[in-house]
Amino acid sequence: MSIDLKTAEEIERMRVAGRLASEVLDYIEPFVKPGVTTEALDQLCHDYMVNVQGTVPAPLNYAPPGYSPYPKSICTSINHQVCHGVPGEKALKKGDIVNIDITVIKDGFHGDTSRMFQVGGSVSILAKRLCQITYECMWLGIAAVKPGTRLGDIGAVIQAHAESNGFSVVREFCGHGIGRKFHEDPQVLHYGRPGTGMVLQPGMTFTIEPMINAGKAAISELPDGWTIVTKDRSLSAQWEHTILVTEQGVEVLTVSDGTPAMPELVAGRLA
């Protein structure tokens, strides 16, 4: 496994790419309402990235080995869709939850982030709780990051929080190193045992993006070859930030004016 430790100049470019990715989510938020199609959200984001930001939408035509090229500029995963939902003609309805996943390329570097949106402001108690616990899972993982700790420490704290609240962690998809490439080493699992895995070093950049299900952890793939859903059709939620391991601890790179505040659960740990 080859880990690309970023230089000061590369880190600065990562900060720019991360901020721009987050600003796409700021921009699209007012449009996420009942009646809008995910196709329309994709087009709005695409135009904003290309024409306003001067960024490249990383997902568009992305084709890892064994996959056909991804056909859109963003991922939109609704309700029981876990990740990689392909935007289409179906309109969002009141009470839906949807994850919007944005990755931009700016000056050769990637910024990758996602947020959950509650459509129409009247989602179920379960959906609201799932979104909140998943958000806390991501931030607990971020709070575990500092030089000398291990990747397993991140996964362990995420798994413990999800399962103690009656939810399950998707195993097949994980966070990843990021920089000049969309996906680099290391893989960042959202489950595991403390004290296991790679030791974290300053200069590492990777995503933390737990996918948490209201039901069982099992998943399946839709015929489009991309969209992942829960096998039992239970709700799923995901949040994602790109982070940097610093000399002192951790820096979140995907931050903008509209970034939701960290939950109170972890605020003291990162103060």
The 3-state DSSP class for residue 61 equals coil
First vs last C-alpha separation in the chain: 33
Number of domains the chain contains: 1
Q: Please state, for a pLDDT cut of 90, what percent of the chain lies above it.
A: 94
Q: Please state, for a pLDDT cut of 70, what percent of the chain lies above it.
A: 99
Asked whether residue 173 is domain-assigned, the answer is yes
Dihedral sign of CA atoms 77, 122, 113, 252 in order = negative
Judge whether 143 and 266 are in contact, CB under 8 Å.
yes
Asked whether residue 1 is domain-assigned, the answer is no
- Beta-bridge mates of residue 118: 97
pLDDT in tens, 173-221: 999 999 999 999 999 999 999 999 999 999 999 999 999 999 999 999 9
Whole-angstrom Cα distance, residue 188 to residue 170? 13
pLDDT at 224: 94
pLDDT in tens, 42-66: 999 999 999 999 999 999 999 998 8
Token pair listed for 137: 């899972």
Among 65-69, 110-114, 251-255, where is mean pLDDT lowest?
A: 65-69
The 3-state DSSP class for residue 126 equals helix
Q: CATH no. for residue 138?
A: 3.90.230.10
Short-list 39, 211, 33, CA closest to 122? 33
Whole-angstrom Cα distance, residue 208 to residue 137? 9
Q: Domain span at residue 188?
A: 8-267
Q: Is the pLDDT of residue 271 over 60?
A: no
Asked whether residue 2 is domain-assigned, the answer is no
Asked whether residue 93 is domain-assigned, the answer is yes
Asked whether residue 203 is domain-assigned, the answer is yes
pLDDT at 49: 98
Whole-angstrom Cα distance, residue 98 to residue 116? 6
pLDDT at 78: 98
- Between strands 211-213 and 236-238, the pairing is antiparallel
- Beta-bridge mates of residue 245: 250
Short-list 172, 178, 25, 164, CA closest to 98? 25
Residue range 80-93: mean pLDDT, rounded: 97
Asked whether residue 181 is domain-assigned, the answer is yes
Asked whether residue 3 is domain-assigned, the answer is no
Asked whether residue 183 is domain-assigned, the answer is yes
Name residue 185's amino acid: D
> pLDDT grade, residue 151 (50/70/90)?
very high
